[in-house]
Amino acid sequence: MFPFIFEWVWDMSHIVFMGGLWYALTIIGLGMTYCLIKAIADTAGIGSGGHHHHDDHH
Amino acid sequence: MDSALIPEGVKRCSPAKFLIFLGVVGAVLLWGVFAMLLCWIKGLNQTNMNDYYGFALWIWADLAVIALGGGAFFTGFLRYIIGKDELKNIINYAVLIGFICYSSALLILAIDIGQPLRGWFIFWHANVHSMLTEVAFCLSCYFGVLTIEYLPLILENRQLDRVPFFHNLSHNMHEIMAVFAATGAFLSFFHQGSLGGVSGVLFGRPFGYREGVFIWPWTFFLFTWSAAACGPCFTILITKITEKVTQKKLVKDNVIELLAKISGWMLATYIIAKILDTWYWASVTAPSKGFWLLDFYSNNPFYGPWILVLEVIICGVLPALILITESGRKSKTALLLAVILAVIGVSLNRWVMVLQVMAVPVMPFDSWYMYFPSWQEIATTVLPVAYGVILIGLSHRYLPIFPQEKELNPID
Amino acid sequence: MNKEHNKAKKFGMVIDLDKCTGCGSCMVACMAENNVPFKADETNKLDSITWMRVYKLTNGKSFPDADFCYLPRPCMHCEGEHGHSPCVSVCPATATDYSHETGIVSQIYTRCFGCRYCMAACPYHARYFNWWDPVWPEGMEKSLNPNVSVRMRGIVEKCSFCYHRYQLAKEKAYYEDRREIEEQEYQTACTQACPAGAITFGDLNNPEHAVHELKKNPNAFRLLERLGTNPKVYYISSREWVRLAGDNYLRQEGKSEKN
Amino acid sequence: MKVSRRTFLSIGSFIVGGAAGTALSPLPWKLTDDLSIWTQNWPWTPKPERGDVSYVNSVCTLCPGGCGLSVRKVNDRAVKIEGMKGHPVNDGGICILGLSGLQLLYGPTRVKTPLKRVGERGQGKFKKISWDEALAEAAEKLGALRAEGKSHTVACISGSAGGTVPQLLKRLLTAYGSPNFMSVPTMQDAYAVTLKQMHGIDACPGFDVENADFVLSFGSGIIEGWGSPVRMFKANSAWQDKKIKVVQIESNKSNTAAKAAKWIPARPGSEGVLALGIAHVMLRDGLYKKEACDGAAGFEDFKKWVADNYAPENIAAATGIQKETVESLAKEFAAAASPIALCGRGQGRTPGSQYEFMAVHALNMLAGNINKAGGVQIIPEPKYIAWTEPELDEIAQKGTASPRIDGAGSETYPHAKSLLNRLPQAILTAEGASPVQALLISEANPCYTLSDTQAVKKAFAKIPFVVSFSSYMDESAQNADIILPNHACLERLEDVPTFAGLSKPVIGLSKPVIKPQFDTKHTGDAVIALAKALGDKIAAAFPWESYEACLKETLGDKWEILNEKCFVAAEENIEAPLQFFTQECKTVSAEGDEKQYPFVLMPYDSIRLANGFIGNTPFLTKTVPDTVLKKNEMLVAVNPKSACGDSLSLKEGRSVMLTTPKGSAKVRVHLSEEIMPGVIAVPRGLGHTAYDKYLAGKGVNCNELIGPAEDAGSGLDAVWGIRAKLSNVSI
């Protein structure tokens, strides 16, 4: 799954497949990082945060 | 005792009653865990699988729960991407059911493989041409997405929500949930599809093999489609069962009906595609390899043409017709019947695409062999059911799963 | 000539079913060479590891017209289209591989994690799963061949065309400063043992090897050719019903071929 | 109790934090990697040791075939048995049993030290004793019998009669004072009697099948293990290449029949009649080789006898074969340039009816193929063992002069050399003490291989002292008082005279490939030691200091070349005048009443089932189809059209009771179109009670169900089947 593992070949199938995979992983990773950082910031009162009524979000 | 953890404004059964419930289901769970340990310690000789049935009950269970868990991605897709806002009242439950289904699938896979400790080779030494690799990657990633979708729900527990960080985290995750849902839908499309590809690419097995486009056999699309159609049916079914058990209405009818209507049209279009696929396969693909349709359904004690009738007509056309008609959706009995049939239909389809693929002899001098699972296989398959029931029980008790519950069941 | 030699090899077999007596020597030669384990009860043929298995084909007629024929079935080392064999493409962990150098489908035992997808893919049932830990009665492990590793429980194994013998032959050739190995230097254990001389093994691409001519025999056929597996094991039978039993035919096709 | 929010949260954060912390550390990743490496090197999965590879040539002694072996060794381990290239018998080929020989060598059935019985006979309870104790005890028992004047009550059963070890045993008996040396009879014995009667000479038959151009087989399992198995496989392949016609006459479609150009399912037991029917046509139409037969002794009488009694139309009822078939067979046989007729059922491990052998041999004589290319070769018995006759003391003279227990060589059975099949009855019918007071068994398993095993075991029970030389814990060893285990094949040095129907017999030398694995002793050395212990003239008859010295001296100038090549050619053909016969012998019919027993049970041989002294190896049993053995139950093949009474319906896999006049057993039915209706085919080689879990308790020993049928002519066992019935299993 990494280019340094010996099965890795720089061919179309690897690029497409692993490209899709890393793309999804990146989005998930970035999304979660964003949420965590923003939550920390909100908690520390840096952001515009404040209180929400979580009923809004269902 | 645990009243502090129970969401405000709703009523729950007594802790004693709940503990008895946990105890009973927990015993079943332990039975499954025992069987699981046997399989891990003594090996797969504990099963009735053999060299003809390398795939059996477990792989069927995997395919079936993932199809049924498809309610999560498809409802999420409808809610966040298409913008069917009413579905916010059932999405939590769809996510929870999805979470249970996918974690179960991963657990069963971990039991099913002969060398569980090497299971990670599927990622590390991935063969990108294998449908199973695609399944493994998308399945695990999507399980991650489901966890992300389930997490805010946990954080909304009355006590946890009081922690500002958790509250904020939960809020922020809700804010960008559409991104996660979209990623989840993307991943789901591929792994549902590649599960269909698992048997569809087997050109050595004329019963499973299908032609297709590019690298994807027709079963790839049929599986995604059927999961999108039947997954929500399963969500509805479980919701109905939960309502029955808790003796409360938890989701408003218009929400259920909307989901049922979409499912119905998905199912209707799916079944047309399925019929076309079966027709093409029976008249072109299989004969080119020397098989008549009935060769697959005769000379054996179990697999007969009744399977086709049951899967396509009774559990396909019939529920589709019920769900696409308004009167059908409005009738409680008809709706229930339709979702049950749809769930049976998709499970049967997965059974056929796993077990019958194994059963059909390919070498002309080979014979049909029948298979019945060992108790260890059954117990390990029941294990996730027990686990799911417990997780639903806990989630329902302590988390605000059903937003409409308070409104529908006001406490005097 | 040189050009011919530089071509990729394609090792294959031609099995003369007219000569095969069904004695089972190939099965045991294979088991002994490849450290195949055995259990006290091996009568359940669905979990009995036999890389080479001799099938008994019958013509389905009644006494006294009943006839039968034995058919030894090693791994077919399918080439499919350009090495796209049924099993290789499905293995999720790259634990089985198609060698374009030799045409041999290999199995990496330490890589396989036992998902059995390859078994589901193989129409010949040439792949076997180690449902049990292999156990040799005390003392009998002395007969194990060090050139082939013993497989642990929980993984899939299959005929390798005695690939270790190819490696040994190549090594020997290398030490003797030869680039190529001779036909007789690399023979599988079953070929070598067959008392009837029914099995011929060699490079199908090499016109100097016996298999090159034998496979062109008008009575030669392969198993399940219509599936597109492109197997490298050929069979020869002078009996038409045997040749027809090598593949599936629709009813009217069968008739037209028989008449 | 209320869970305080603080506790709840702190426990929660501890778990979550701990999990996150662990996941971020290298520990889980390292552990995951290590665990997978561990699965790749599980300590309980053996890892064969590497080392220096060498090949040692030897000769296989697991069957009478005498194949050359090339054994691959890694350091001091034998790891693979292969066929020896260039060996005249097998030229590189090897049979399934030979291939799995290492499983016998290293297997759990080996007797690892001398043993002395401590439990009841047959119970299998033994204690380890030293070689000195074991030999002393045997010598003491034998010495005491001799002192009592009962030396003639000592008998010996040897797997074969040829070779130095059997001859040493025979010599021991002679010097000791007993005439009762017996060998396990096979079709070779029946052929020997045939040649004696039809050529008047002591000789062995050789079959030049490689050069025959028409093969007429009367039930011989040409590719079932008949003769020297690998050689016959090769011959069969040569026939396929040359498109040579093989006709197989047999009630069951054996592998041989399936490979043959023509299968003629004649009524079992009628083969001899059919042969004479063919002879009838040849004689009637003048199709026989006149230059060979005319004027031969008894030819005119034979001609008349056959003309009177064996017209094809007259034998149709007995054989079930149409007149036209017989006529065309006879014409084809006679028209061939070098036809050959073979007999000896299945693997030829039981002798068979003299009538049948002589009838078939008569066909060869009529075809004029005696000592001709592609025909029957008449080969003298091996003469390389030329020891001086032992000097006999008074007791020995008296003992050897007494009549043999089995009656061989008596007036009734003048041509037979040993009649082991008659031994159990001789013991059981004797009044008072057993006529056998001590029995030595070498390379034989009579408690399993003789017909009517129950009677054999009963007879064994009456013998006060039984010594086994077996390398394996077989049924007979289990019934012995003392076991003096021989080195196993590949551990021992031994000469292997191989006839087994070879047209050019050889003398092979089985060389040790590895050091003896256990505390065993070569039977040759054990015999010499016993003789020395018995002292006086017995000791004097064995002047060699060891078996190896004896063998070296015996082989003389052959020793060196044998050591180098493992084989030398044996004797050349001898001239054989023809002597025809009339009416001397009778067909042997199956025992039992036809009404009570509607079926005929026929044991059949399979190359995948070792049925003689050597039991099946685990590998061999693994290749046995599930239509023969399923779990521990044996399947018998029956044609679905067989009439079996109203109360029983034949269904695949159905459990039934198989009953014969000799006994009954629970078996399962395998429906087969490859067998004549009314015949039950029972595999030979299953139903062991001794050996290990890989063999014991699987199926039924068919020898328990059939009784010996003494041939009126030779006295040998001519049994080929027995009447039987199938009935529902009573619960």
Give tens-digit pLDDT for D163-201.
999 999 999 999 999 999 999 999 999 999 999 999 999
Which residues on chain D place their C-beta less than 8 Å from a C-beta of chain B? 1-3, 5, 8-9, 12, 32, 35-36, 38-40
Q: Which residue of A has its CA nearest to B139?
A: A21
Interface of C with D in 88-107 (CB under 8 A): none
Beta bridge partners of C235: C15, C221
pLDDT score recorded for residue D645:
67
Q: Do you know the residue count of chain A?
A: 58
Q: How would residue C21 be classed by pLDDT, with cut points 50, 70 and 90?
A: very high
A15 in reach of chain B (CB within 8 A): no
* Nearest chain D CA: its distance from C120 CA (Å): 23
Chain A residues close to B133, C-beta within 8 Å: 17
Rg (CA), chain C: 19
Instruction: For the beta carbon of residue D140, count every other beta carbon within 10 angstroms.
Output: 12
Specify whether the CB–CB gap between B99 and B68 falls below 8 A: no
Per DSSP, D77 falls in state: E
- Whether omega before D382 lies within 30 degrees of 0, making that bond cis, reads no
Question: Who among B126, B145, B156 is closest to A28 (CB)?
Answer: B145
Specify whether the CB–CB gap between B230 and B343 falls below 8 A: yes
Could you give the angle at the alpha carbon of B178 between the alpha carbons of B177 and B184, nearest 5°? 90
Q: Do you know the residue count of chain C?
A: 259
pLDDT score recorded for residue D695:
94
Report how many Cβ contacts below 8 Å link chain B to chain D. Answer: 28
pLDDT digits (tens, 9 = 90+) for D2-47: 556 667 667 767 787 888 888 788 888 899 999 999 999 999 999 9
pLDDT value at C83 more than 90? no
The Cα diameter of chain C in Å comes to: 60
Q: How would residue B264 be classed by pLDDT, with cut points 50, 70 and 90?
A: very high
pLDDT digits (tens, 9 = 90+) for D303-316: 999 999 999 999 99
Chain D residues close to C237, C-beta within 8 Å: none
Residue B277, exposed/middle/buried by CB under 10 A (0-12, 13-18, 19+)? Answer: buried
Beta bridge partners of D494: D510
Report yes or no on B341 lying in a domain: yes
* Helix H or strand E encompassing C202: strand C199-203
pLDDT score recorded for residue D566:
86
Give the three-state DSSP class for C68.
strand
Beta-strand runs (E) in D184-333: 203-207, 214-218, 245-249, 262-264
CATH of the domain at C98: 3.30.70.20
pLDDT value at B147 more than 60? yes
Question: Who among C56, C92, C116 is closest to B133 (CB)?
Answer: C92
* Mean pLDDT of the residues in chain A: 77
Q: Which residue of B has its CA nearest to A35?
A: B172
Phi and psi angles of residue C72, each rounded to the nearest 5 degrees, phi first: -75, 135
Specify whether the CB–CB gap between D424 and D458 falls below 8 A: yes
B62-76, B167-181, C227-241, D6-20, range with the lowest pLDDT? D6-20
Q: Which chains touch C (3 or more CB pairs under 8 A)?
A: B, D
Beta bridge partners of D680: D601, D638
Beta bridge partners of D603: D682
Residue C73, exposed/middle/buried by CB under 10 A (0-12, 13-18, 19+)? Answer: buried
* Nearest chain D CA: its distance from C7 CA (Å): 31
**What is the token pair recorded at B2?**
């645990």
* Nearest chain C CA: its distance from B391 CA (Å): 28
Are C143 and D105 in contact (CB < 8 Å)? yes
Instruction: Find the Cα–Cα–Cα–Cα dihedral B385, B387, B391, B392, rounded to 10°.
Output: 20
**What is the token pair recorded at D589?**
């019919």
Q: Which residue's entry shows tokens 């020793």?
A: D559
Phi and psi angles of residue D615, each rounded to the nearest 5 degrees, phi first: -85, 170
For B100, residues 6+ apart whose C-beta sits below 8 A from its C-beta are B69, B384, B387, B388, B391, B392
Domain that holds residue B77: 49-371
pLDDT value at C255 more than 60? no
pLDDT digits (tens, 9 = 90+) for C207-226: 999 999 999 999 999 999 99
Question: Who among A5, A43, A58 is closest to B125 (CB)?
Answer: A5
Question: Who among C40, C143, C197 is closest to D78 (CB)?
Answer: C143
Phi and psi angles of residue D400, each rounded to the nearest 5 degrees, phi first: -70, -20
**What is the token pair recorded at D245?**
């016609």
Specify whether the CB–CB gap between D711 and D584 falls below 8 A: no
Chain C residues close to D32, C-beta within 8 Å: none
User: Could you give the CA distance from residue B131 to residue B197 in angstroms, rounded to a whole number?
Assistant: 6
At D496, the amino acid letter reads V
Q: Which chains touch A (3 or more CB pairs under 8 A)?
A: B
Q: How would residue C154 be classed by pLDDT, with cut points 50, 70 and 90?
A: very high
Give the three-state DSSP class for C50.
coil
pLDDT score recorded for residue C259:
36
pLDDT score recorded for residue A48:
52
pLDDT score recorded for residue D648:
79
Handedness of CA D360, D364, D367, D368 (dihedral sign): negative
* Mean pLDDT of the residues in chain B: 94
**What is the token pair recorded at B346?**
């998709």
Chain D residues close to C142, C-beta within 8 Å: 77-78, 106
Specify whether the CB–CB gap between C150 and C134 falls below 8 A: yes
* Nearest chain B CA: its distance from A42 CA (Å): 7
pLDDT value at D731 more than 70? no
pLDDT value at A56 more than 70? no
pLDDT digits (tens, 9 = 90+) for B317-346: 999 999 999 999 999 999 999 999 999 999
First-last CA distance in chain A? 37
D322 in reach of chain C (CB within 8 A): no
Are B172 and A35 in contact (CB < 8 Å)? yes
pLDDT value at D482 more than 80? yes
What's the whole-number mean pLDDT along residues D208-225? 96
* Nearest chain B CA: its distance from C240 CA (Å): 14
User: Could you give the CA distance from residue B247 to residue B233 in angstroms, rounded to a whole number?
Assistant: 20
pLDDT score recorded for residue D4:
62
**What is the token pair recorded at D368?**
């004029």
B38-52, C163-177, D498-512, range with the lowest pLDDT? D498-512
What's the whole-number mean pLDDT along residues D104-113? 95
Query: How many domains does chain C contain in total?
Result: 1
Chain A residues close to B168, C-beta within 8 Å: 38-39, 42-43, 49
For D566, residues 6+ apart whose C-beta sits below 8 A from its C-beta are D57, D58, D59, D68, D84, D87, D508, D509, D510, D511
What's the whole-number mean pLDDT along residues B272-286? 96
User: Could you give the CA distance from residue B358 to residue B52 in angstroms, rounded to a whole number?
Assistant: 6
Chain D residues close to C33, C-beta within 8 Å: 80
Chain C residues close to D259, C-beta within 8 Å: 18, 21
Give the three-state DSSP class for B410.
coil
The half-sphere exposure of B221 on its side-chain side, counting CA atoms within 13 A, is 18
The half-sphere exposure of D465 on its side-chain side, counting CA atoms within 13 A, is 16
pLDDT score recorded for residue C1:
42
Report how many Cβ contacts below 8 Å link chain C to chain D. Answer: 197
Beta bridge partners of A29: none
For D125, residues 6+ apart whose C-beta sits below 8 A from its C-beta are D117, D118, D119
pLDDT score recorded for residue D650:
87
pLDDT value at D667 more than 70? yes
CATH of the domain at B75: 1.20.1630.10
**What is the token pair recorded at D65?**
């075939």
Query: How many domains does chain B contain in total?
Result: 1
pLDDT digits (tens, 9 = 90+) for D411-461: 889 888 899 999 999 999 998 899 999 999 999 999 999 999 999 999 999
In sequence order, what DSSP letters do the residues of D367-413 get, joined into one string? TT-TTSTTSEEEEEPP----PPPPPP-HHHHHHHHSPPTT-TTSSSS
pLDDT value at B52 more than 50? yes
Helix B332-351 with B57-68: angle, nearest 10 deg: 140
Rg (CA), chain A: 19
Residue D508 vs residues D86, D561, D562: alpha-carbon distances, Å: 13, 10, 7
Domain that holds residue C32: 2-258
Report yes or no on B385 lying in a domain: no
How large is the ipTM?
A: 0.93
pLDDT value at D278 more than 70? yes
Specify whether the CB–CB gap between C233 and C77 falls below 8 A: yes
pLDDT digits (tens, 9 = 90+) for C108-150: 999 999 999 999 999 999 999 999 999 999 999 999 999 999 9
pLDDT score recorded for residue D549:
96
Interface test with B, best of D4, D5, D40, D41 (most B CBs within 10 A): D5
User: Could you give the CA distance from residue B344 to residue B311 in angstroms, rounded to a whole number?
Assistant: 8
Q: What is the pTM (predicted TM-score) of this model?
A: 0.93
* Nearest chain C CA: its distance from B124 CA (Å): 8
Phi and psi angles of residue D666, each rounded to the nearest 5 degrees, phi first: -85, 125
Q: How would residue B102 be classed by pLDDT, with cut points 50, 70 and 90?
A: very high
Specify whether the CB–CB gap between D721 and D250 falls below 8 A: no
Closest CA relative to residue C196, chosen from D211, D87, D96: D96
pLDDT score recorded for residue D19:
81
Q: Is A in contact with D (3 or more beta carbon pairs below 8 Å)? A: no
